[in-house]
Structures are given as C-alpha cells and as structure tokens.
Amino acid sequence: MEGLRPDRPARDARAFVTLVTNADYVLGATALIHSLKATGTTADIVVLHTDADVAPLRTLDVRLVRCDLLPTSDAFNQTHARDALHARAAFTKGGKPPFHTPLDNFAKLRLWQLEYDRVVFLDADTLVLRNIDKLFDYPEFCAAPNVYEGWGDFHRMNSGVFTARPSATTFADMLARLDVPDAFWRRTDQTFLEHYFSDWHGLPVVYNMLQYVWFAQPQLWKWDDIRVLHFQYEKPWQDHDKADRLRPLIDLWTSYARGEVPDLSALPNP
Ligand code: UDP
Ligand code: MN
C-alpha cells in the first residue's frame, strides 16, 4: 500500500476497482458504481484516484484510494504523451476523447499494491448489468478479447475488465518490465498487460461487451447475456458523432448515472 492513501479501511477481501484521473472519468465512475450496487455485490468498491476532484463520489459510500501516477521516467512519459502516442500509433477505428490522457492509463497497475486478495478491475467507462461476483473465483489473469469488428479481434485482449491478485512482488516486477529503454506500449496498459500475461485466460465477450458491437456485429448482441457493457472510444457523456447510432446504450448509461435502476428486460434490440 506504499504511497496509497485510502479514505477508510477495507471491508472485504475482494474488491471491484476502477481508476479516475479527471472530472470526466468521475462521471463514468458514478454510473459504474450505481450499476455495481444494483447487482447486489458484497465485495468492496474501490476508486483509485489521482488529485482529481472526487467530491461527487463521496456520497456513494465507496472506498476512495488516492494515488499518484506511476513513477515512470521522463523518456517513458514523453514517448507515451498524448500527441506523441497519437502520432506514432494513430487511432483509426474510433475517436479518443480530448480528456483521455494515455499516460494515466498505466496507473491501473497500482491495483496490484492494494491489500485485497482478489480484484476485478473495471474501466470507469463500463456498466455492470448483472452480478459478476463469481469472477473473484477466477484466476489471475482473465480478460475478454477485444471484439468489435471481425474474427481477427479474438487474438487481442481488452484491458477494460480483468481479474487480478494483488501482490507487491508482482507490482515491482511490472514496474521493472514496463519502463525499460525504448519501451513503447502503443495501447498503453492494454499492450503491457497482454505482453506481461501473455497466456491470459479468455473470458466470454459478455464480460466486456464493447459498444461498437451494437452496430458493427449486431448478431453478437443479446441483452440477457451481457454482464458488462464497455463504452470504448467515445464516451456516453460526450457529444460525439456516433451518438445517434448508439442512442439506446447512451440512454441506459444516463439512467445509471442518475442513480435509477433501469428495466433491463425492456431494452430494444440492435
Ligand atoms: N483513465 C483515466 N483518465 C484518463 C485516461 C484513462 O482515469 O485520462 C482510466 C479510466 O478508468 C478509463 C481507463 O483508464 O476508463 C481506460 O481509458 P478509456 O476507458 O478511456 O480507454 P478505452 O476503453 O476507450 O480504450
Ligand atoms: Mn474503457
């Protein structure tokens, strides 16, 4: 827990963990937390956060754990700065919001410093639609493939949802392997974790259903099966050019963000 400043003690040995480094992802975390609570989970809910204003989260009765970004080198930080990364490895499949800072993603790795036995990490742009507590019984490292376009997607993993076993030893080893000379992790923590856990266990796509599947692979969409919905690329609280095509998903997100418990049996099909 070195360098981590929790606002209260842990209550369970298992935790759902997310990360927020700015006000936009605080909005994301708000909807995520409401959605998790609606599943009746008995695990802790933890928000790792930097110096962002997390006041809106204080009323939600979750554990807030203040942290710094990782102590990476200047060379590493320059290589992974937003403009440098976008120039070297442009995003061609979708748009990254202006408030997305690639370097911040690496702070996810701090979850390995937490005192929990078992963690399920969730990006702040996800919603948990059904109870997923059973993932705590899954080993490290489980994640779903990065599916939103075609069969080739099954070769890559998505780091928006994964299972982990915190360990100071693992954390130190990760830092040593992350910030090596000339390191360039083109999709930041996702590329690093895919490399670090190269024999990752695959979760079914329903544990990390990416929003583009709604319009790109509608045959994969079955609301009853979806456990976690993930708004990769453009965020539901943003004005963006795919909003009209994603309207029912955005409405669902808005409903959770307001603290409502939506009727999941009444959602339209793609
Ligand atoms: N994140 C953050 N601030 C940033 C970038 C990322 O807090 O500037 C956190 C947040 O939890 C976010 C996750 O890291 O959900 C990964 O980023 P994002 O979800 O935007 O990436 P995508 O899913 O679009 O690849
Ligand atoms: Mn995400």
Residue 179 Cβ contacting ligand 1 at under 6 Å: no
253 CA → ligand 1 middle, Å = 16
Residue 100 Cβ contacting ligand 1 at under 6 Å: yes
pLDDT at 241: 96
CA angle 125, 131, 134 (to 5 degrees): 105
Whose C-alpha lies nearest to ligand 1, atom 13?
Answer: 123
Is residue 223 pLDDT above 90, yes or no?
yes
pLDDT at 251: 98
Beta bridge pairs of residue 113? none
**pLDDT tens string 70-111:** 999 999 999 999 999 999 999 999 999 999 999 999 999 999
Residue 54 Cβ contacting ligand 1 at under 6 Å: no
Stretch 189-197: mean pLDDT, rounded? 98
Stretch 167-186: mean pLDDT, rounded? 98
Stretch 158-180: mean pLDDT, rounded? 98
Number of domains present in the structure of the chain: 1
105 CA → ligand 1 middle, Å = 6
Give the sheet arrangement for strand 63-66, strand by strand.
5-6, 63-66, 44-49, 14-20, 118-122, 157-164, 142-145, 201-202
Percent over 90 (pLDDT), the chain: 99
Ion ligand 2, residues whose Cβ is below 5 A away: 123, 125, 160
Could you tell me the residue range of the domain that residue 66 belongs to? 4-266
Stretch 180-198: mean pLDDT, rounded? 97
**pLDDT tens string 125-136:** 999 999 999 999
pLDDT at 1: 86
pLDDT at 3: 87
Residue 29 Cβ contacting ligand 1 at under 6 Å: no
Stretch 196-209: mean pLDDT, rounded? 98
160 CA → ligand 1 middle, Å = 8
d(CA 50, CA 10): 19
Residue type, 231: F
| Atom of ligand 1 minimally distant from the CA of 126 | 15
pLDDT at 111: 98
pLDDT band at 2 (very low <50, low <70, confident <90, very high): confident
Q: Looking up tokens 């408030």, which residue turns up? A: 99
| Atom of ligand 1 minimally distant from the CA of 187 | 25
134 CA → ligand 1 middle, Å = 24
User: Residue 164 is part of a domain; what is its CATH number?
Assistant: 3.90.550.10
8 CA → ligand 2 middle, Å = 27
